[in-house]
Amino acid sequence: MVEFKKLAPPTTGEKIEIVDGKYIFPDNPIIPFIEGDGIGPDIMRASKIVWDGAIEVAYGGKKKISWFEVYAGEKAIEKYGEPLPEDTITAIRHFLVAIKGPLTTPVGGGYRSLNVSMRQIMDLYACVRPVKYYRGVPSPMKHPERLDIVIFRENTEDVYAGVEWKQGTPEAKKIIDFMKNELGVKVRDDSGIGVKPISIFGSKRLVRKAVQYAIDKNRESVTLVHKGNIMKFTEGAFKDWGYELAVDEFRDHIITESELWDQVIADDGVTPTVKEGAYAHLRGGRPAGNQGDRILIKDRIADQMFQQLLTRTDEYDVVALPNLNGDYISDAAAGQIGGLGIAPGANIGDYIALFEPTHGSAPKYRNQDKVNPTSLILSGVMMLDYLGWPEAAELIEKGIEATIEQKRVTYDLARQMGDVKPIKASEFGYAIVENMKKMG
Ligand code: NAP
């Protein structure tokens, strides 16, 4: 039995189990949650109104979440004297699926990012961000609805691994001397040094998750995004290992882009083909009468991917990337559908999944019940889907759309819509529940 120093799990509800490598989700799972700092308590309160409301409407009492508060950040310091207590990690590891609000990272000292620490301690190697448009949300695009992608960003490697040395330190000098003397590589003596490790293990497990997701969710393609034309042995290798993994482990479910080109040219009617939409980018379209069910595996160079998402938006579906590309593209894509206040996220390992909004703790708005809870609400939608409760998840998405279309929105969207009086975060939550009840 799991033991905690200062926590008492709820007395009702059950633990999610893993049997033969597969999840068993009970109807009444215990889900740990971290309220978060700054605006965290406000958006968590509003979100729970929506999540619990949706589950009630969708399942009429047959399913229910037993919430279990665990602590990180400022609340943890009050309770434990430290920002990330062992109890919290133990609880998330034990109960497997959890959700959190944003946590403040003190600038210039204090403690390091708790978000990064949690990802590392629990080896949550895939940062998953679905980016799609909800009707009524103000967007800078003419056709924001054309974007509907799910980003799988590698979370543990690349220049984010934290292997770097400050300019002028003995370590930086040592590396520079080593490169000069042992490898014959010239680097300016006054350089800071960072290392970009990208491994077969790290790349393949990320791509495996992306392809498996594409299969499970009946998506059309997986695009490997890299800068392999310049960084051949890291980014280029990520692409190569991604293709290798897809062919080795998912042969009967996938076709690569080069295979598809060959097949379009041959039009032999024998080669397996992809889902209808994946043909969009191929000159000549799909061969007549030959609609397949394979997932198309393709790759794109990162810089051109930014413009492709703008100009050929609907050709992209599931997208797998190394860490840095993933960071940039996630935010750029979120901008297309109305910004970070809307986009949800999750950090997922082999069995542990921690859902979280993509924005920070916006401390200046704390305790004002003011900010937009949509990013956290939608992170909960991802969680409900992960639990195998799609009815509740879809209900919330429809409820959010209806509420935004009624122009019952928080200050941030009201500001962009013009001439709309903003409502509070909690009022937005209740408005969604009201709309869901009408639909349920
Ligand atoms: P931020 O908290 O995301 O806030 C930046 C601005 O974005 C806000 O001032 C606000 O804009 C807007 N915003 C953010 N969330 C919003 C919401 N829910 N509704 C409406 N508007 C929203 O970024 P930050 O100020 O750079 O970071 C603050 C703290 O959060 C830092 O300590 C940072 O390290 C941390 N952080 C945590 C996470 C995480 O927990 N995963 C992620 C990122 C940052 P306006 O001022 O225009 O209204």
Question: Mind listing the pLDDT tens digit for each residue in 166-187?
Answer: 999 999 999 999 999 999 999 9
Could you tell me which of 359, 366, 372, 378 has the C-alpha nearest to residue 411? 372
> Among this protein's residues, is 303 annotated catalytic?
yes
Confidence of residue 6 (pLDDT cuts 50, 70, 90): very high
- Give helix then strand counts, H and E, for the chain: 14, 15
> Among this protein's residues, is 240 annotated catalytic?
no
Does residue 283 surpass a pLDDT of 70? no
Question: If you write DSSP's letter for every residue of 39-108 in order, what string do you get?
Answer: THHHHHHHHHHHHHHHHHHHHTTS---EEEE---THHHHHHHSSSS-HHHHHHHHHH-EEEE------TT
Q: In the prediction, which pLDDT does 205 show?
A: 98
Side-chain half-sphere CA neighbours of 200 within 13 A: 2
Across residues 288-298, what is the average pLDDT?
75
State pLDDT tens for residues 316-339: 999 999 999 999 999 999 999 987
> Among this protein's residues, is 386 annotated catalytic?
no
Higher pLDDT: 106 or 13? It is 13
Q: In the prediction, which pLDDT does 279 show?
A: 67
Confidence of residue 151 (pLDDT cuts 50, 70, 90): very high
Does residue 76 surpass a pLDDT of 60? yes
The single residue of 132, 227, 239, 275 carrying the catalytic annotation is 227
Across residues 303-328, what is the average pLDDT?
94
Please give the model's pTM, rounded to 2 decimal places: 0.93
Across residues 243-255, what is the average pLDDT?
95
Q: In the prediction, which pLDDT does 161 show?
A: 81
The single residue of 125, 160, 316, 386 carrying the catalytic annotation is 160
- Whose structure tokens read 């940062």? 127
Q: In the prediction, which pLDDT does 274 show?
A: 72
Measured CA to CA in angstroms, residue 341 lies from 226, 377, 411, 426 at distances of 27, 11, 11, 15
Across residues 99-111, what is the average pLDDT?
82
Burial class (CB in 10 A: 0-12, 13-18, 19+), 138: middle
Which residues does a 6 A CB cutoff place in the pocket of ligand 1?
A: 43, 102-105, 115, 341, 356, 359-362, 371-372, 375, 412
State pLDDT tens for residues 382-433: 999 999 999 999 999 999 999 999 999 999 999 988 889 999 999 999 999 9
Does residue 84 surpass a pLDDT of 80? yes
Task: Give the residue whose CA is nearest to atom 43 of ligand 1.
Answer: 360
Confidence of residue 270 (pLDDT cuts 50, 70, 90): low
What percentage of the chain carries pLDDT values higher than 90?
81
Across residues 151-164, what is the average pLDDT?
90
Confidence of residue 162 (pLDDT cuts 50, 70, 90): confident
Positive or negative, the CA dihedral 221, 227, 233, 234 is negative
Q: In the prediction, which pLDDT does 416 show?
A: 87
Q: Name the residue of 361, 378, 404, 424 to mutate for ligand 1: max ligand atoms within 8 A of Cβ.
A: 361
Token readout for 133 is 């448009």
Does residue 374 surpass a pLDDT of 80? yes
- Which residues sit opposite 33 in a β-bridge? 69, 99
Q: In the prediction, which pLDDT does 260 show?
A: 78
Q: In the prediction, which pLDDT does 12 show?
A: 95
- Whose structure tokens read 């998840």? 393
Task: Give the residue whose CA is nearest to atom 18 of ligand 1.
Answer: 372
State pLDDT tens for residues 190-229: 999 999 999 999 999 999 999 999 999 999 999 999 999 9
Does residue 265 surpass a pLDDT of 60? no
* Dist. CA 299–CA 257, nearest whole Å: 8
| 135 C-beta neighbours (distance < 10 Å), count | 12
Torsion of CA 45, 431, 347, 390, to 10 degrees: 120
Residue 194 near residue 362 (C-beta atoms within 8 A): no
Residue 355 near residue 380 (C-beta atoms within 8 A): yes
* Dist. CA 106–CA 182, nearest whole Å: 40
> Among this protein's residues, is 327 annotated catalytic?
yes
Could you tell me which of 23, 27, 15, 111 has the C-alpha nearest to residue 72? 111
